[in-house]
Structure 1
Amino acid sequence: MTPRQRLSMIAVMLLAAVGLAATATGTGAAAAPHTRAPAAPPPAAIAVPSAPITGTFTDAAGGTGTFAGGFTPSGFAAQDGALVATGTLTGTLTDSTGATIGTVDETISTPAAVAQATCRILDLTLGPLHLDLLGLVVDLNQVHLTINAVSGPGNLLGNLLCAIAGLLDPLPSADALAALLNLLLALLGRI
């Protein structure tokens, strides 16, 4: 996989994970009586949707409380060679009785991980084969064999084969990934 393909895959995964949602910010204003043309409506803004965040905690009574909210990314950066996402975490804390015990509305930075990926190990196409082995005739039609390795937690062989397959590919730095992701966020704001 080339660096350009890897970056394209990361960008597509980010957009798929985050999603796109357009919301209108207003309607056109009526024209003033002395103007020739009506005022142009304000452009529609693209809102970066929030990714859902849920979790549990032990409340003061020893029961299991819940957190439900979302994270809206506002930018990406490289810290100590790792990619981090900065954004707003909002949500509500509810105790085991169902009572709301607090809300969260904070700007946070969190490590950003690349989603599970596959890498092509082998793509082999064999044309039709005709074998005559001492009177035993074997005819085989076209065969297309594709082997993909899936990387991710618990996929030992997939992780190993993807790492070996990409040994000679230059990996983009966290700075390069942060720049690309910030560009995508800026483009979302302009659409």
Structure 2
Amino acid sequence: MTHRQRLSMIVLTVVAALGLATVGANPAGAAPSTPAAAPAAAAIPSAPVTGTFTDATGGTGSFAGNFTPSRFSAQNGKLVATGTLTGTLTDSAGNAVGTVTKTVSAPAAVAQATCRILDLTLGPLHLDLLGLVVDLNQVHLTITAVPGAGNLLGNLLCAIAGLLDGTPAAGALAALLNALLALLGQL
């Protein structure tokens, strides 16, 4: 995997993780909005955010909006994304109750996709073993490890495969992501 592919994967994963991390947020507490930051450039990707809240009648209302990151930072060794959350609160009857435009911070997790362990291509093979003839055409063997909860072998093999990669610290990753945001803002 090239550095460009790895960097693209990190950006997409962070944006997706932000969307997943904020799905369970309680947007009712965010209704009194504060002055928002300057609008983000259209080139900066945003992540969809949805959630529910209890409306004034006791019913279940919904929240639908977007989170647009504006900067990343390291807090206590963890990566944190700060950006603008915008969206609409809708009550259980389907009426729009209000809108939210608020600067929020959320933990950002960088999930590792898969790790290529082995990519082996064997050409055609002809074996004559004392009268037993084996002919084999081209074989392409790909072994991929999938890390995650409960995937012990996948976690182990990905850790071994990445030993020499050097995982960046949260501060270095935040600086890299801020540089990417700046570049995207110039598009």
Give the TM-score range, shorter chain. 0.7 to 0.9
Paired-residue identity, %: 75
Indicate yes or no: 2:70 matched with 1:74.
yes
Which one has a bigger Cα radius of gyration? 1
The alignment's TM-score, normalised by the length of structure 2, stands at 0.73
Partner amino acid, structure 1, of 2:6: M
Q: What residue identity is the alignment partner of 1:88?
A: T
For 1:84, the equivalent position in structure 2 comes to 80
Task: Tell me the residue number matched to 2:6.
Answer: 9
Name the counterpart of 1:105: 101
**1:52 is aligned to 2:54:** no
Equivalenced residue count is: 162
Aligned pair partner of 1:144 in 140, 155, 176: 140
Matching residue within 161, 164, 173 for 2:169: 173
Give deviations 1:38-59, integer Å, cap 9, x for gaps.
xxxxxxx754243211112333
Name which of structure 1's ranges 84-93 and 164-173 shifts more when overlaid on structure 2.
164-173
**How far apart in 2 are the matches of 1:131 and 1:118?**
35
Pick closer, same or farther for the CA change 1:16–1:152 going to 2, 3 Å.
Answer: closer
Deviations 1:59-102 (A, max 9, x none): 34343211001111111111111111110111111121112233
Alignment TM-score, normalising by the size of structure 1? 0.72
Q: Does 1:189 align with 2:168?
A: no
Which segments of 5 or more consecutive residues in structure 1 lack a partner in the other structure?
A: 19-44
Q: Output the aligned Cα RMSD.
A: 2.6
Query: Gaps (5+ residues) in structure 2?
Result: 16-40
4+ long deviations beyond 6 Å: none
Question: For the residues of structure 2 that align with 1:60 and 1:164, how far apart are their CA atoms?
Answer: 54
The residue type paired with residue 53 of structure 1 is V
Change over 3 Å in CA distance of 1:118–1:188 after alignment to 2: same
Deviates more, 1:153-162 or 1:140-149: 153-162
Tell me by how many angstroms 1:17 deviates. 7.7
Structure 2: distance between partners of 1:89 and 1:65: 18
| Deviation (angstroms), 1:107 | 0.6
Aligned partners of 1:81, 1:16: CA distance in 2, in Å?
19
Distance, in Å, in 2 between the alignment partners of 1:15 and 1:57 is 28
